[in-house]
């Protein structure tokens, strides 16, 4: 039996109060379930026990990892990333420095359309190597579970190719990789007709996803200038009828009713949501749809930040993710996104930490075995490079973890 005892944890954040109650709202510092001078016992990849003070005799001979007073938390969960793409959009960053907006660049054939062209031009091996090296960057920042979206294929064959590569990435990476098919992202330049595109995705791609199980989730970018609620409606209904699970890019720039539709479709999350209406937010709270805030994108593209108070006051669960992608957020640093969420979305340090662990697990429906330290949960652990939650949020993701453990295995 593989065993590991992590000792001398200055603050051991268990999140056990939330996991015990299966609660995702009304987060207070007490919900972190902090054990001072803590220890954590891991056996066969699972959390076996935890506590504070003297180490019980039965664990004394186990292999030990000395945290030397550091903050120790459950592995971070990045529940929204776009890490599989070819090419490079550095030139767009330069255009933005000269005053163009993200949407102006997109309107000129750049943005997602540019990445579709360069992704199609890359072979499987190139895509896999590039994606794996990006996941390693996430890992060095403490991310043990990654939700990875396609969306730069945008034809039935290309989306299926990206899904297959992502499954290979998942098999080769130590992290848990949750795969999402972002089938409605942007119209490729070779298909001018939106309705025939949606039809092909709905009638050809979705049944193939249901048949093969290549995607854990299905996503759509529901936004003015991309896909409207009406465009996405039959696609979402078909996905649901096939037993596929939905998450939605919703109301990032304008309120197009996407948050409300996401709730109506029973989506697990509605992401971005800066411009969601109060009605949309209320519907999300009622449906248990998690609001995934992506402040790195606001920082990178200089657009509005989502206001956490609107979600908090409505009792809507909040997660935070990186949105790492080639154009609107080339930032693969989830702790940095958490600090941005605290400063600019208005979250407490406790809320921000919960947003990248327990609530992110909920957004991916992994809360039965990830996102907290509970006996039997997966032993995904970060021994941080800081000593407290307060220091973690203040250091803006610049101080790297000392150790990352996934399924009980030390990786760094």
Residues of this chain that bind ligand NIG (CB under 6 A)? 82, 111-112, 115, 221, 249, 252, 297, 323, 325-329
Q: What is the DSSP string of 307-325?
A: -HHHHHHTT--EEE-----
| Nearer to ligand NIG among residue 118 and residue 391 (C-beta) | 118
151, 82 Cβ separation under 8 angstroms: yes
371 binding partner (options ligand NIG, Fe ion, none; Cβ < 5 to 8 Å by kind) = none
Distance of alpha carbon 202 from alpha carbon 241, whole angstroms: 11
Question: Residue 32 corresponds to which tokens in the numbers above?
Answer: 């972190």
> At 274, phi and psi to the nearest 5?
-60, -35
| Nearer to ligand NIG among residue 78 and residue 252 (C-beta) | 252
Distance of alpha carbon 293 from alpha carbon 37, whole angstroms: 32
221 binding partner (options ligand NIG, Fe ion, none; Cβ < 5 to 8 Å by kind) = ligand NIG
Which of 159, 323, 351, 380 is the binder for Fe ion (CB under 5 A)?
323
| Nearer to ligand NIG among residue 39 and residue 221 (C-beta) | 221
| Nearer to ligand NIG among residue 161 and residue 249 (C-beta) | 249
Stretch that binds Fe ion, among 41-49, 224-232, 321-329, 395-403 (CB under 5 A): 321-329
Number of CB atoms found within 10 A of residue 97's CB: 8
Rounded least distance, CB 26 to ligand NIG, Å: 28
| Nearer to ligand NIG among residue 271 and residue 403 (C-beta) | 271
* E strand residue ranges, 168-268: 176-184, 217-222, 246-250
User: In the bound complex, which residue of the shown chain has the CB atom lying closest to Fe ion?
Assistant: 323
User: In the bound complex, which residue of the shown chain has the CB atom lying closest to ligand NIG?
Assistant: 327
71, 48 Cβ separation under 8 angstroms: no
252 binding partner (options Fe ion, ligand NIG, none; Cβ < 5 to 8 Å by kind) = ligand NIG
Stretch that binds Fe ion, among 59-67, 183-191, 317-325, 366-374 (CB under 5 A): 317-325
Distance of alpha carbon 410 from alpha carbon 404, whole angstroms: 6
Distance of alpha carbon 116 from alpha carbon 105, whole angstroms: 15
Rounded least distance, CB 55 to ligand NIG, Å: 45
Stretch that binds Fe ion, among 20-28, 302-310, 322-330, 357-365 (CB under 5 A): 322-330
255 binding partner (options ligand NIG, Fe ion, none; Cβ < 5 to 8 Å by kind) = none
Q: Any idea which residue has 């070779």 for tokens?
A: 190
CA distances from 120 to 61, 87, 197, 287 (A): 53, 10, 17, 37
Residues that bind Fe ion (CB under 5 A): 323
């Amino acid at each position: 039996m593989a065993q590991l005892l992590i000792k001398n944890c200055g603050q051991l954040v268990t999140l056990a109060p939330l996991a015990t109650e299966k609660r995702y709202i009304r987060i207070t510092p007490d919900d972190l379930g902090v054990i001072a001078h803590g220890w954590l016992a891991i056996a066969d990849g699972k959390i076996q026990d935890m506590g504070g003070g003297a180490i019980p005799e039965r664990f004394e001979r186990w292999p030990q990892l000395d945290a030397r007073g550091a903050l120790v938390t459950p592995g971070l969960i990045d529940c929204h990333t776009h890490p599989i793409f070819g090419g490079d959009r550095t030139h767009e960053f330069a255009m933005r420095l000269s005053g163009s907006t993200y949407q102006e660049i997109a309107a000129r054939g750049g943005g997602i359309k540019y990445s579709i062209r360069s992704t199609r031009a890359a072979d499987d091996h190139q895509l896999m190597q590039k994606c794996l090296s990006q996941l390693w960057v996430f890992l060095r920042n403490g991310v043990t579970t990654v939700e990875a979206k396609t969306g730069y294929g945008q034809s039935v064959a290309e989306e299926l190719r990206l899904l297959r590569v992502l499954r290979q990435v998942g098999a080769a990476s130590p992290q848990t990789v949750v795969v999402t098919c972002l089938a409605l992202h942007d119209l490729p330049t070779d298909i001018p007709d939106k309705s025939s595109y949606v039809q092909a995705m709905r009638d050809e791609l979705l049944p193939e996803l249901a048949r093969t199980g290549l995607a854990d989730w299905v996503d759509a970018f529901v936004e003015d200038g991309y896909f409207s609620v009406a465009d996405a409606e039959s696609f979402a209904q078909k996905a649901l009828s096939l037993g596929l699970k939905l998450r939605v890019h919703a109301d990032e720039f304008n309120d197009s009713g996407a948050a409300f539709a996401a709730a109506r479709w029973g989506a697990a999350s509605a992401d971005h949501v800066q411009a969601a209406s109060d009605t949309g937010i209320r519907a999300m709270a009622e449906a248990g749809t998690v609001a995934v805030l992506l402040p790195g994108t606001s920082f990178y593209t200089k657009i509005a930040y989502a206001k956490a108070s609107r979600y908090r006051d409505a009792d809507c669960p909040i997660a935070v993710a990186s949105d790492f992608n080639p154009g609107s957020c080339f930032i693969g640093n989830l702790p940095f996104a958490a600090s941005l969420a605290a400063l600019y979305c208005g979250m407490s340090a406790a809320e921000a930490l919960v947003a990248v662990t327990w609530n992110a697990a909920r957004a991916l429906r992994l809360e039965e075995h990830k996102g907290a330290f509970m006996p039997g949960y997966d032993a995904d652990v970060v021994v941080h490079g800081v000593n407290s939650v307060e220091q973690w949020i203040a250091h803006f993701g610049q101080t790297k973890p000392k150790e990352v453990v996934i399924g009980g295995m030390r990786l760094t």
